[in-house]
């Protein structure tokens, strides 16, 4: 609610400023019939205050959702959609006006001269920033001459004035908007000031999430492993967690940590092997996609096309062997040093080319691999899971990035992910916001119960039209029996991508 209202207040300012520009541009003579058409229609009376169809909050609500729904391809000229939007805007206007009535009752709309001066300065700063950016777009830099800067500034101001900008009107609207936002902030703080979130609240919330994830993991292990690996990078970036819909705070059974030495062969050898392997896979899939129509077959027979020599498994194996032969001297060196007691960790630094293993911290943590992992090249996963005990080193494993020597670093016990200080802060902020918004919503409900609200005939017609439209839309939206998910709906439900980290970048490389 707080975010939405802030957006609406900003949009209300935009609409009011636009109105100022329009007034400045409009002709001074307005026909009488036009004035009559523009007369506001009273929809409701709230504690003696009229709420009209020209209410700035109603208009900002409709503008916001018109733009939002239009982005998703909805027809905003549809009568049913428009009816629901109008009624929603009316209720939003009533709720917002009631909130400001309460704020005025508590004296939260009163400001000192110093506070007003600060609002004015912010407005001037905003305009100055706008002018500076516009000048920069016109090629003005810090090195430009004073004459060029002055001319550019004059040109920007002239353009603004041509569009209807008038400083006094702008300052008035900006200060009023700032006062309104500050009034709302004071009321919100007043209602929510006693709400606190303790460390115990955070721990309980976290434990509840872990318990839910344990149940998910038990119900469908493979699916949960995929969810956990998609989510894991976000744990290092809690600021992105609010955008994640599928979280996973439980590490399931079966994970192990491994490190590896990535040996990169000569580039042409790796490219040749990957190209042949891809061609062979395409050939093996080709029969499934072959056209069966008589016309297509006849056309092909009449006009034979030149084809490349088919790739065989022997050709792919030979290319793979060429890679192994290329890195064998280094493999032999590494094995000898290991036999002589060298640390695998030290050899990673000496021979490895994986940037994800470049730091001591990364090597100490290792890569988490599970039999059901989706984050890694399947051959890397298979090689990691083939190791029998901690300390074992794999034979060379050829993957899409080169040859891996994999080291079984440690087992990763099942259990909750680390509740880091950053994660605690995220949960504390999230819980606080949720509790504050809930408390403010409850307060608004109480204010509305205590208020004297009467809808006019027009307001009642808006409400009834919205109820009818909502019923119709709900009936139309009922899916027919047997409806299946489409590619479009599947894409719409896809989770947001995780922020890239060294680990996810390397994972992407290993799954190419």
DSSP-assigned letters across all residues of 293-360: -HHHHHHHHHSPPP-PPPP-HHHHHHHHHHHHHHHHHHHHHHHHHHHTT--HHHHHHHH---GGGSSH
Confirm whether 423 is domain-assigned. no
User: Do 318 and 442 lie in a common domain?
Assistant: no
pLDDT at 474: 73
Its domain, for residue 442, covers 2-27+38-194+431-475
pLDDT at 347: 98
pLDDT at 267: 85
**What does R_g of the chain's alpha carbons equal in angstroms?**
33
CATH number at residue 390: 3.10.50.40
Degrees (nearest 5) of the Cα angle 472, 478, 479? 150
pLDDT at 23: 43
User: Do 79 and 178 lie in a common domain?
Assistant: yes
Q: Among 95, 148, 369, 113, which Cα is nearest to 259's?
A: 369
Q: Among 33, 58, 29, 28, which Cα is nearest to 43's?
A: 58
pLDDT at 507: 43
pLDDT at 295: 53
User: Do 467 and 437 lie in a common domain?
Assistant: yes
Separation of CA 223 from chain center? 22
Q: Residue 424 and residue 201: Cα distance in Å, rounded?
A: 10
Confirm whether 230 is domain-assigned. yes
Instruction: Estimate the crossing angle of helix 199-219 against helix 421-450, to 10 degrees.
Output: 100
3-state secondary structure of 39: coil
User: Do 154 and 268 lie in a common domain?
Assistant: no
Confirm whether 419 is domain-assigned. no
pLDDT at 285: 86
pLDDT at 288: 55
User: Do 241 and 265 lie in a common domain?
Assistant: no
Entry pTM = 0.74
User: Do 373 and 455 lie in a common domain?
Assistant: no
In what helix (H) or strand (E) does residue 448 lie, and over which residues does it extend?
A: helix 421-450
Q: In what order do the strands lie in the sheet with 397-399?
A: 367-369, 256-263, 402-411, 397-399
Confirm whether 481 is domain-assigned. no
Confirm whether 266 is domain-assigned. yes
Looking at residue 246, the DSSP 8-state letter turns out to be: S
pLDDT at 305: 52
pLDDT at 472: 84
User: Do 188 and 204 lie in a common domain?
Assistant: no
pLDDT at 387: 98
User: Do 89 and 158 lie in a common domain?
Assistant: yes
Confirm whether 33 is domain-assigned. no
Confirm whether 209 is domain-assigned. yes
Non-local (6+) Cβ contacts of 153 within 8 A are 131, 135
Confirm whether 271 is domain-assigned. yes
Looking at residue 389, the DSSP 8-state letter turns out to be: S
Q: Which residue has the tokens 């609500």?
A: 61
User: Do 7 and 119 lie in a common domain?
Assistant: yes
Tokens of 81: 């959609």
CATH number at residue 459: 1.10.4030
User: Do 50 and 176 lie in a common domain?
Assistant: yes
User: Do 275 and 404 lie in a common domain?
Assistant: yes
User: Do 190 and 277 lie in a common domain?
Assistant: no
Total domain count, the chain: 3
Separation of CA 246 from chain center? 12
pLDDT at 364: 96
Q: Among 427, 440, 2, 418, which Cα is nearest to 197's?
A: 427
pLDDT tens string, the chain, 512 residues long: the values are: 444 444 444 444 444 444 444 444 443 344 445 444 679 999 999 999 999 999 999 999 999 999 999 999 988 889 999 999 999 999 999 999 999 999 999 999 999 999 999 999 999 999 999 999 999 999 999 999 999 999 999 999 999 999 999 999 999 999 999 999 999 999 999 999 999 999 999 999 999 999 999 999 999 999 999 999 999 999 999 999 999 999 999 999 999 999 999 999 998 999 999 999 999 999 988 665 555 544 544 454 445 554 568 999 999 999 999 999 999 999 999 999 999 999 999 999 999 999 999 999 999 999 999 999 999 999 999 999 999 999 999 999 999 999 999 999 999 999 999 999 999 999 999 999 999 999 999 999 999 999 999 999 999 999 999 999 998 877 766 655 544 444 444 444 434 444 444 444 444 444 44
User: Do the beta carbons of residue 417 and residue 235 sit within 8 Å?
Assistant: yes
pLDDT at 504: 45
């Amino acid at each position: 609610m707080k975010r939405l209202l802030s957006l609406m207040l900003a949009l209300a300012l935009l609409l009011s400023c636009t109105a100022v520009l329009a007034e400045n541009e409009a002709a001074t003579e307005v026909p009488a019939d036009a004035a009559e058409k523009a007369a506001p229609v009273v929809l409701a009376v709230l504690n003696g205050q009229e709420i009209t169809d020209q209410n700035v909050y109603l208009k900002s609500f409709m503008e916001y959702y018109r733009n939002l729904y239009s982005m998703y391809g909805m027809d905003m000229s549809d009568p049913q959609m428009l009816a629901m939007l109008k009624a929603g805007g009316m209720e939003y206007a009533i709720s917002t006006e009631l909130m400001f009535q309460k704020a005025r009752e508590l004296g939260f709309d009163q400001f000192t001269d110093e506070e007003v001066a600060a609002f004015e300065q912010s407005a001037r700063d905003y305009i100055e920033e706008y002018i500076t950016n516009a000048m920069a777009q016109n090629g003005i830099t810090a090195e430009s001459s004073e004459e060029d800067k002055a001319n550019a500034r004059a040109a920007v101001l002239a353009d603004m004035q041509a569009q209807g900008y008038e400083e006094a009107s702008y300052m008035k609207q900006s200060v009023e908007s700032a006062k309104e936002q500050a009034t709302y902030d004071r009321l919100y703080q007043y209602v929510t000031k006693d709400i606190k979130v303790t460390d115990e609240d955070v721990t309980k919330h976290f434990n509840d999430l872990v318990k839910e994830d344990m149940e998910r993991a038990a119900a469908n292990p493979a699916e949960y492993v995929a969810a956990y690996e998609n989510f894991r990078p976000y744990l290092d970036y809690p600021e992105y967690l609010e955008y994640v819909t599928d979280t996973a705070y439980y590490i399931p059974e079966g994970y192990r940590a491994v490190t590896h030495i990535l040996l990169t062969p000569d580039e042409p050898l790796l490219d040749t092997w990957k190209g042949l392997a891809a061609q062979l896979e395409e050939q093996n899939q080709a029969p499934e996609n072959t056209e069966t129509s008589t016309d297509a077959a006849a056309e092909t027979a009449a006009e034979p096309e030149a084809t490349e020599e088919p790739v065989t498994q022997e050709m792919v194996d030979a290319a793979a062997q060429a890679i192994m032969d290329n890195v064998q001297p280094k493999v032999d060196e590494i094995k000898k040093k290991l036999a002589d007691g060298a640390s695998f960790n030290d050899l990673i630094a000496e021979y490895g080319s994986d940037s994800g293993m470049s730091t001591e911290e990364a090597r100490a943590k290792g890569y988490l691999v599970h039999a059901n992992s989706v984050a890694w090249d399947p051959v890397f996963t298979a090689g990691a899971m083939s190791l029998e005990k901690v300390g074992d080193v794999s034979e060379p494993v050829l993957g899409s990035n080169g040859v891996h020597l994999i080291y079984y670093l440690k087992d990763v016990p099942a259990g909750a992910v680390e509740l880091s200080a950053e994660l605690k802060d995220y949960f504390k902020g999230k819980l606080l916001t949720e509790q504050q918004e809930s408390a403010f919503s409850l307060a608004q409900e109480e204010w509305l119960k205590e208020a004297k609200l009467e809808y006019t005939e027009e307001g009642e017609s808006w409400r009834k039209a919205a109820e009818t439209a909502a019923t119709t839309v709900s009936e139309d939206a009922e899916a027919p029996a047997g409806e299946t998910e489409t590619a479009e709906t599947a894409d719409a439900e896809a989770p947001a991508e995780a922020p890239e980290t060294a680990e996810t970048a390397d994972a992407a490389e290993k799954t190419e």
